[in-house]
């Protein structure tokens, strides 16, 4: 039995060290990452039994991704393997990261064209078998953005999960480098009828579903929770099957300092975490995935809505303090953070 199943792309992540630009460096730090794999890894580290479903080319990069997931407690046995043709007509994706500092924002460059997961086909994955032994299924808007066939399989997976009685969550995760807002809305809106828990930030709700908050700025900063309460209510009215809506609120002051807060709407009431002011960022990639992980972990363990948003807020705030896509914080550390615990050295 899986507590959580996720489906999506993972890539090899290559990061320039010491805040340098890529053209400056003579070496790169390597790891793996990708929204749905991040959620599976984080949830496994918190104690859930998780599985990640994907399609990978059977070469060094595919095996590296598989091995990294296995090392961190994720069942990787549901990967569809594609034979390496020696040329790369199908390949595994890469992404390159430059870490920002001060007024310079971090920057991601993708190298993921013709990836194996973008060529996935409906009927290729035995969803009925996978969901017969699962409690929760998580997907993000990145996966359907990869190709028309990936969008079709994403919809297929959501329908199969709901048919099997599995709770579904969907992180809108809009990526402008993958598709336009118009394309995202055309694909995402029909899938919402199969979603139980919807997750996203201020940009996601506007670009992926067409629900903009009042007071939105071009940089999506300094947004008040009240404006997102109104957005959440409008989304719930449009898609009544959605039971909960979670969002992250970020005020990016500099490349290093952000304010962070999380919100949860359970269809009747709104719940807010504490504000994490002047959160010092080591690496902001994966912060939203950690919110998803913390929320899923909390709800599967029967926490109240307030406790769930508090835990997810603390857990995702801590994610910003670790390099890499994955969150290395423990549940105990998240509990301490949500209670405004001190940062004196633990002896």
DSSP 325: S
What span, in angstroms and rounded, lies between the C-alpha atoms of 105 and 258?
12
Known catalytic residue at 283: no
Helices within 23-141 (DSSP H only): 35-46, 60-71, 127-131
Active-site hit among 3, 251, 289, 310: 289
What span, in angstroms and rounded, lies between the C-alpha atoms of 38 and 293?
8
For residue 74, the SS3 value is strand
Asked if 116 contacts 109 with a C-beta cutoff of 8 angstroms, the reply is no
- Containing 189, the helix (H) or strand (E) segment is helix 181-191
Q: Quick one: which of 29, 30, 20, 41 has its CA closest to 138?
A: 41
For residue 142, the SS3 value is helix
Asked if 311 contacts 303 with a C-beta cutoff of 8 angstroms, the reply is yes
Phi, psi of 152 (to 5 degrees): -65, -40
HEC profile for 34-63? CHHHHHHHHHHHHCCCEEEECEEEECHHHH
Query: 225: exposed, middle or buried (C-beta count within 10 Å: 0-12, 13-18, 19+)?
Result: middle
308-345 burial, b at 16+ Cβ within 10 Å, e below that, comes to bbbbbbbbbbbbbbeebbbbebebebbebbbeeeeeee
DSSP 115: B
What span, in angstroms and rounded, lies between the C-alpha atoms of 19 and 16?
7
Asked if 295 contacts 199 with a C-beta cutoff of 8 angstroms, the reply is yes
Catalytically active residues, by annotation: 289
């Amino acid at each position: 039995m899986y507590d959580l199943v996720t489906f999506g792309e993972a890539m090899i992540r290559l990061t320039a060290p010491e805040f340098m630009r890529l053209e400056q460096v003579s070496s790169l730090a390597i790891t793996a990452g990708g929204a749905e794999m991040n959620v599976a890894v984080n949830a496994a580290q918190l104690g859930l039994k998780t599985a990640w479903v994907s399609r990978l080319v059977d070469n060094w990069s595919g095996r590296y991704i598989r091995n990294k997931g296995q090392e961190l407690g994720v069942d990787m046995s549901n990967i569809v393997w594609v034979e390496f043709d020696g040329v790369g007509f199908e390949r595994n994706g890469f992404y390159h990261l430059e870490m920002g500092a001060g007024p310079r924002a971090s920057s991601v460059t993708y190298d993921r064209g013709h990836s194996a997961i973008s060529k996935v086909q409906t009927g290729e994955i035995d969803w009925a078998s996978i969901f017969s032994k699962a409690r929760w299924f998580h997907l993000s808007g990145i996966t359907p953005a990869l190709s028309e066939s990936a969008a079709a399989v994403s919809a297929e997976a959501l329908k199969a999960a709901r048919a099997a009685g599995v709770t579904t969550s969907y992180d809108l995760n809009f990526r402008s480098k993958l598709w336009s807002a118009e394309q995202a809305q055309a694909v995402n809106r029909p899938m919402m009828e199969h979603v139980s828990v919807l997750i996203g930030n201020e940009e996601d709700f506007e670009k992926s579903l067409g629900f903009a908050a009042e007071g939105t700025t071009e940089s999506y900063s300094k947004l008040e929770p009240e404006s997102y309460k109104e957005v959440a209510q409008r989304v719930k009215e449009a898609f009544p099957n959605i039971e909960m809506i979670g969002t992250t609120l970020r005020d990016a002051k500099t490349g290093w300092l952000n304010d962070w807060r999380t919100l949860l709407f359970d269809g009747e009431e709104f719940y807010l975490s504490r504000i994490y002011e002047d959160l010092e960022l080591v690496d902001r990639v994966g912060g939203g995935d950690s919110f998803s992980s913390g929320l899923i972990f909390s709800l599967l363990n029967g926490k109240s809505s307030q406790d769930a948003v508090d835990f997810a807020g603390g857990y995702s705030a801590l994610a910003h303090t670790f390099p890499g896509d994955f969150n290395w914080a423990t549940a105990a550390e998240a509990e301490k953070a949500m209670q405004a615990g001190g940062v004196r050295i633990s002896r």
